[in-house]
């Protein structure tokens, strides 16, 4: 998730307008901002939202759209106060909490980001995006168990829109839950079939669970995408060794030697250790 969509300009008669003329001005500025965003003129739209807020400072929609426009430009320090102002005027604005959390996360204020996501979930306990973002924040801090739990909740709520299978798989792999990693990597491959890393770590996961035939298939899939991937070549050699196939293991050593001698030497050390001793 964490895909930015152009801020949605809410065009309506705002309750904070004290005069009909002010309402007309606000409507015209909203329409102008909508057109500016449509044309990709985000900075111009920011100026329009600021003009709206000069007329109606507590306008939740204008504050939200201002914050989202700053977010689109990567100006997270400016997005934060605008989104907080939106929440102040409309405390049940779930998206404002989520993007406030995203902004704080990008500024590396992880605890504050997690608090914002928690508030989003207090309003909407089944908000898949909030759970996803909790996963992102925790993964950045290498809190892989918490990240995996959050990503999994996001997937369980909305598996169709979930875009974090690779992240979920990576977290499961890092905490040694290889069976769960396999399931997530397989889903990741369905959407990213040419990502060699997905195939490589699926192979590692199969190897960790003793499914050597499937590991061999996945290593070969990795090499079909990236033929000189040294980790796949080494992993394939080790899988053959586990299967007591020294001939194929030695072939992988021969392929690996010109690419990475250190890894090749480590593979050969394992081959030598498992080779029959001559009298």
Full 3-state SS string of 168-194? HHHHHHHCCCHHHHHHHHHHHHHHCCC
10-24, 46-60, 157-171: which range is least confident on average?
Answer: 10-24
Residue 190 has pLDDT above 80, yes or no: yes
Instruction: Give residue-wise pLDDT tens across range 103-153.
Output: 999 999 999 999 999 999 999 999 999 999 999 999 999 999 999 999 999
Task: Supply the pLDDT for residue 261.
Answer: 95
Q: What long-range pairs does 108-116 form, CB within 8 A, spacing at least 24?
A: 110/137, 110/140, 110/141, 113/137, 114/138
Q: What's the whole-number average pLDDT of the chain?
A: 90
| Mean pLDDT on 82-111 | 97
Is the separation of the CB atoms in 83 and 63 below 8 Å? yes
Contacts of 152 (CB under 8 A, 6+ apart): 168
Where do the domains of the chain lie, and which CATH numbers do they carry?
A: 1-75 (no CATH), 91-163 (1.25.40.10)
Task: Supply the pLDDT for residue 25.
Answer: 72
CA distance 96 to 117: 10
Task: Supply the pLDDT for residue 173.
Answer: 98
CA distance 173 to 179: 9
């Amino acid at each position: 998730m964490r895909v930015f969509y152009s801020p949605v300009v809410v065009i309506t008669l705002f309750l904070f307008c004290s005069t009909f003329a002010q309402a007309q001005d606000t409507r015209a500025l909203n329409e102008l901002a909508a057109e500016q965003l449509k044309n990709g003129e985000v900075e111009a739209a920011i100026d329009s939202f600021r003009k709206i807020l000069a007329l109606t400072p507590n306008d939740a929609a204008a504050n939200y759209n201002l914050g989202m426009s700053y977010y689109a430009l990567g100006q997270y320090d400016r997005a934060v106060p605008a989104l907080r102002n939106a929440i102040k005027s409309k405390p049940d604005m779930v998206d404002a909490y989520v993007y406030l959390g995203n902004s704080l996360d990008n500024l590396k204020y992880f605890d504050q980001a997690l608090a914002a996501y928690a508030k989003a979930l207090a309003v909407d306990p089944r908000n898949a995006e909030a759970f996803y973002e909790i996963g992102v924040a925790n993964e950045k801090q290498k809190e892989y168990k918490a990240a995996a739990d959050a990503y999994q909740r996001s997937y369980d709520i909305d598996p169709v829109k979930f875009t974090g299978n690779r992240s979920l798989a990576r977290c499961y792999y890092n905490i040694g839950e290889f069976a769960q990693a396999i399931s997530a990597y397989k889903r990741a491959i369905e959407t990213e079939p040419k990502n060699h890393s997905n195939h490589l770590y699926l192979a590692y996961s199969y190897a960790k669970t003793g499914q050597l035939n499937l590991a061999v298939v996945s290593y070969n899939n990795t090499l079909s995408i990236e033929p000189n991937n040294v980790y796949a070549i080494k992993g394939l050699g080790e899988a053959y060794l586990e299967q007591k196939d020294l001939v194929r293991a030695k072939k992988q050593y021969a392929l690996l030697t010109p690419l990475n001698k250190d890894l090749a030497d480590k593979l050969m050390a394992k081959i030598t250790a498992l080779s029959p001793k001559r009298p």
